[in-house]
Amino acid sequence: RQVAAEVAQLEELSAQEEANLESLIAQRQAELEAERAAAERARRAGQPAPPAPATAGSGYFQWPVRGPITSPFGWRIHPISGARSFHQGIDIAADTGTPIAAAESGRVIYAGWYGGYGNYISIDHGGGVSTGYGHCSAIYVSVGQDVSRGQAIGAVGTTGYSTGPHLHFEVRINGKPVDPLTRLR
């Protein structure tokens, strides 16, 4: 009974963290879209525009790390709680310290500790598309920083709710998770 209560509490905390993260990402993406709109208005008025964040090029992302997928996108039995839950990304096994590459150019909208995700990085790529990188052992970037496709942004780790070294990788469109395998090339 106590274990079930603890699992329920962990699931509730995880859901709250997920909702907070979605809200943060949506807020930051709205700010970036407002910056883009201001730049476009300035351009039309013949004024110099402020620098705009980078946007995704081909629509496909490069793999952030190489390794086997140890947990796919979708419904699964959570490896820590044992409860059925929706996995909003993919887990890619790699050694602790392996560099994590930005899957595409963009602007960092979150970089820090995020509960079950451990050390987490989120990058906005424009057009409502963002990527997330969880369980990092190190973070090399900061919020507001523009990054290039392939740039090292952090290192693989096992922080947060994790059973071993791996990268949790997410792709979100307008804040909603999509299967990263549909966007990787």
**Beta-bridge partners for 177:** 172
Query: What is the tens place of the pLDDT at every residue in 119-170?
Result: 999 999 988 899 999 999 999 999 999 999 999 999 999 999 899 999 999 9
Q: Which amino acid is at 184?
A: L
Nearest CA among 99, 95, 176, 75 for reference residue 132: 176
**Beta-bridge partners for 106:** 147
Nearest CA among 100, 91, 90, 103 for reference residue 61: 103
User: What is residue 48's DSSP assignment?
Assistant: P
Which class in CATH covers the domain with range 2-182? mainly beta
Side-chain-side CA neighbours of residue 47 (13 Å): 9
Query: What is the tens place of the pLDDT at every residue in 63-105?
Result: 999 999 999 998 888 887 888 888 899 999 999 999 999 999 9
At residue 53, the pLDDT reads: 40
- Is there a contact between 149 and 105 (Cβ–Cβ < 8 Å)? yes
Q: Which helix (H) or strand (E) holds 69?
A: strand 69-71
Query: What is the tens place of the pLDDT at every residue in 24-33?
Result: 667 667 766 7
- Is there a contact between 144 and 107 (Cβ–Cβ < 8 Å)? yes
Query: What distance in Å separates the CA atoms of residue 185 and residue 175, rounded to the nearest whole number?
Result: 22
At residue 17, the pLDDT reads: 66
